[in-house]
Amino acid sequence: MKEFGLFINNEWVDAENGESFVTVNPATGESVSRLAKASAADVEKAAAAARQASAQWAALHPEERGRLMCEAARLIRERGEEFARVESAETGKTLHECRTIDIPFAVRAFEYYGKVMTGFQGEYIEVPQGGILDYVSYEPYGVVAVIAPWNFPIHLMTRDLCPALAAGNTIVAKASSKTPSTTSMMGEIIKDAGFPAGVINIVSGPGGTTGNAIMESRNVDVVAFTGSETVGRQLLKKSADAPVIKKLVLELGGKGAICVDKDADLDGAVNSALFGVCFNQGEVCCASSRAYVHEEIYDAFMEKLVKRFKMLKIGLPSDPATNIGTLIDAEALAKVEGYVQEAIADGAVALCGAKRYTEPPCDQGYFYEPTVLVNVREDMRAMKEEIFGPVLMVTKVKSLDEAIGYANNTDYGLGAAVWSENPKTLYRAGKLLKAGTVWQNYNVTSTPEAPYGGNKNSGFGREDGLHGLREFLCVKNNMQYVGPEYENFYGFKD
Ligand code: NAP
């Protein structure tokens, strides 16, 4: 079992009150790590350390910050297998996904932002009135807290931490208390890479105490939060009530959809529907849990889809043959099961799955069979809310426009996909679908170089790419009078 203190000022320290907690492998019930549980006082120490380090870090040339970030990337890559194993153990996702997606994304975030900030420049503005030198500079806010969820722990942590750091902010990082270990391992990397003390501080502990203390700290200027809509709304209220309003970047839930036109590449569309809702057991914010399929190809689509859903292998995350690991905990399993059972009671028909999977060696975890539901209606709860499990609901439509109308029929606005072989159709659908990302003959993927984020109840702000960097740069306009004599506006004379 790994042991982690709190990482404050480049030192590993115990919680002030000596409290700790243990994380559990959801597939097996075994303990993974013991971590210090940060109290409000510990969080304040971390935030004060970040504040203290802030001016010096901001004053470093971006190239120097970038050099340290690239060294961190190198060190994570070097320990990639260890990171992947810990990530898989705490999340229950397959080791294969951790090796090929989660850890490489974290490495790339350090590398990409380590390099991109050096090319980021201010602007000179030509103003109509003479005698004014006007220039815009981009400056760090100060201290950025990053609060991350459990479904992609190190990936979603570094997705905000890296641009904030590159921009010259110092950091207080809090991972989910279900999956904090890879974020704490990052503390070891930060120390080994040679970052100055206080630049990155890591506090572990539950949202209600540790997370709440972050929101209450006056030493935190910006909070980049990825998590549920419910907590996102709470943070909005907290920010509004705080003595000094905090800037928030909110990456919340989603209710993705895939629209399949009659001319779609059938194999591609089926595979993307499969991946869109089964990747990471469907515990993905932009998972496409609704599919709207043109009636002319519906039967052929469904035949392939159900066949492939049944081919998915459920198993222990460490088994290389496993496609579907375990859900995160008993509560998540009950929630997924509840949505499916309620939909079935309301007339939906399950073509596969719709039950727990308890075959040994999976009898100690929270496994759920990949499920396809038809005969669903737009007013069903499962069609409106985030299920966060491998459950796809399919509706037959008469046209792509009908599909797009349904896809947009949600209070979320994170991701939507469209499949067609006609580029004009793709372009039009791209315009009409209301989401932060529209995948065209593609699905449920992001890249560190391009913006990702949502609208409506999916939150606001963007991560990844230059847009992600800008979230952590404060825009400052500078006006310098360089004319011959400053105007005497009131006409006063001595
Ligand atoms: P969550 O319960 O909202 O928790 C997210 C983070 O916030 C965790 O670190 C949690 O800590 C912390 N937290 C909880 N209550 C808090 C409070 N009162 N003050 C401050 N922090 C608090 O979400 P989750 O269950 O971990 O993650 C799943 C959700 O994240 C889904 O809704 C999913 O769609 C969303 N998500 C969105 C994106 C995106 O990019 N839009 C990406 C991934 C996931 P503890 O866990 O330690 O309590």
- Model confidence over 90-121: pLDDT tens digits? 999 999 999 999 999 999 999 999 999 888 88
Select from 3.20.20.70, 3.30.420.480, 3.40.605.10, 3.30.1540.20 the CATH code of 2-252+458-478: 3.40.605.10
Decide if pLDDT at 135 tops 90: yes
Q: Is the CB of 457 under 6 A from ligand 1?
A: no
CA of 149 to the centre of ligand 1 (A): 4
Q: Is the CB of 89 under 6 A from ligand 1?
A: no
Q: Compute the 3-state secondary structure of the chain and give helix, strand, coil in percent, each to the nearest 5.
A: 40, 25, 35
- What pLDDT, in 10s, does the model give residues 244-282? 999 999 999 999 999 999 999 999 999 999 999 999 999
Average pLDDT over residues 210-231: 97
Structure token pair of residue 63: 């190239």
Structure token pair of residue 147: 């609060």
Q: Which atom of ligand 1 is nearest to the CA of 227?
A: 30
Active site residue 285: yes
CA of 134 to the centre of ligand 1 (A): 41
Cβ-based burial of 194 (10 A; exposed 0-12, middle 13-18, buried ≥19): exposed
User: Could you tell me which of 469, 475, 481, 482 has the C-alpha nearest to residue 137?
Assistant: 475
Out of 285, 286, 352, 362, pick the active-site residue.
285
The torsion angle over the Cα atoms of residues 6, 195, 216 and 38, rounded to 10 degrees, is 0
Q: For atom 23 of ligand 1, which residue has the closest CA?
A: 227
- Average pLDDT in the chain: 97
Q: For atom 18 of ligand 1, which residue has the closest CA?
A: 208
pTM recorded for the entire structure: 0.96
> What is the pLDDT confidence band of residue 314, given thresholds at 50, 70 and 90?
very high
Ligand 1 pocket test target in 33, 179, 204, 228 with most atoms within 8 Å of CB? 228
- What pLDDT, in 10s, does the model give residues 321-357? 999 999 999 999 999 999 999 999 999 999 999 999 9
Give pLDDT, residue 121: 86
Structure token pair of residue 57: 């870090």
CA of 179 to the centre of ligand 1 (A): 11
Decide if pLDDT at 20 tops 90: yes
Average pLDDT over residues 385-394: 98
Average pLDDT over residues 16-20: 97
Select from 3.40.630.30, 3.30.70.20, 3.10.620.30, 3.40.309.10 the CATH code of 256-440: 3.40.309.10
> What is the pLDDT confidence band of residue 487, given thresholds at 50, 70 and 90?
confident
Average pLDDT over residues 146-170: 98
Q: Is the CB of 46 under 6 A from ligand 1?
A: no
Any idea which of 121-130, 293-302, 395-404, 453-462 has the lowest mean pLDDT?
Answer: 121-130
Return the domain boundaries, the chain: 2-252+458-478, 256-440
CA of 108 to the centre of ligand 1 (A): 23
Q: Do domains 2-252+458-478 and 256-440 have the same CATH topology?
A: no
Give pLDDT, residue 118: 85
